[in-house]
Structure 1
Amino acid sequence: MGADAGVVRAAEPADAAGIGLVHVRSWQAAYAGHFPQEFLDALDPAARAEGWRRILGAAQRARQADLVAEVDGRVGGFVSVGPSRDSDASGAAEVYAIYLLAELWGSGLGRRLMDAALGTLAGLGFDAATLWVLEGNQRGRRFYKKGGWSIDGATKVDDSPGFPIAEVRYRRSLP
């Protein structure tokens, strides 16, 4: 996949399989050494795609958007955004997820995808956004810092997958 040909556009239900694959493959690459390997090996792109098919096929979701980065006719990355789910960040937006295939990391396509998401959120009337990142994900944290995000002091531990995931929250103003 050549990132130069990348196009960022609104996600459609037909993109669910590609998003599911990107979601799983990027987790397997980014979280190796952070999550148990057996957990990562068991991730199923088809199951993840089914979840995305439901999300993308749902009736209009208030102030939410999903975008894909299409490269050579295939989904190479995606971002999902909407209102913050945190009670202490009411009124702010949240980047729920942003993932890119590992072979596209460092290509600039992730930045274009994030910029499009932030512009979309500003267009939806938000003036600030938050996101959660794995505390040990130094690559992701550098990406966010370079993009104008700052740690806001909030932390959480998610035990839902059966092991603890320590996360830190970042915040930034929107353009």
Structure 2
Amino acid sequence: MRIRPATIADAAVLADVHVRTWQATYRGFVPDGYLRSLDPVRWRPFWQDRLRRPEEGTATLALVPDAGDRPVGFVSFGPSRDDAADVAAGEIFAIYVLPEHWGTGGGRMLMAAALTALADAGFGRATLWVLDGNARARRFYEAGGWRPDGLTKRDESRGFPLDEVRYVLDLR
């Protein structure tokens, strides 16, 4: 596996990774009907826009197999979007790897690359938000040194509640 910057040509594949990973990861946490309604074609404009015109300081890296160039995962990151974070904080916005590639080390590679980029950009710490009940993700983050800092939030933007916990990591 290797890491490279995501390009506009990756938009359709990243939309597929995004949707398929959501469907696998969040089964049991969000309504099945919502998961079934997720459509990579509807996510393509989001990814096309994000990759064509990234917000200042943000980036998306793709995880690709050694024998190919079709991404099987991605990480997006940049300055923290969280009102409760200080200006020295970067944020991991999303990290997703297709379920058939879980346990291969790709997620760790993506995280390491993103954290290096955030530290190189001058951020002293990083934050991320994780679904409170997502034990698999929480174990992954905690194995990498991340710790919950006590902040929580409820996201009801999709018509059902998602309780999230903020994790932090010192980059110094």
2:63 aligns with 69
Tell me, what secondary structure is at the counterpart of 2:84? helix
Contact 1:65–1:120, Cα closer than 8 Å, also in 2: no
1:88 aligns with 84
Cα distance between partner residues in 2 of 1:61 and 1:124: 15
State the shift of 1:70 in Å. Answer: 1.1
Unaligned stretches of 5+ in structure 2?
A: none
State the shift of 1:74 in Å. Answer: 1.2
Tell me, what secondary structure is at the counterpart of 1:99? strand
* Identity within the alignment, %: 51
The residue correspondences of 1:1-175 to structure 2 (distance < 5 A) are: 6-58=1-53, 61-71=55-65, 72-91=68-87, 92-175=89-172
Query: Which amino acid is 1:125 matched to?
Result: G
Cα distance between partner residues in 1 of 2:2 and 2:10: 14
1:14-47 Cα deviation digits (max 9, x unpaired): 1111110000000000000111000000001111
TM-score (norm 2): 0.95
Cα distance between partner residues in 2 of 1:11 and 1:54: 12
State the shift of 1:48 in Å. Answer: 1.1
Cα distance between partner residues in 1 of 2:159 and 2:31: 10
Runs of 4+ in 1 over 4 A off after TM superposition: none
State the superposition RMSD in angstroms.
Answer: 1.0
Cα distance between partner residues in 2 of 1:87 and 1:116: 25
State the shift of 1:174 in Å. Answer: 1.4
* Number of equivalent positions: 169
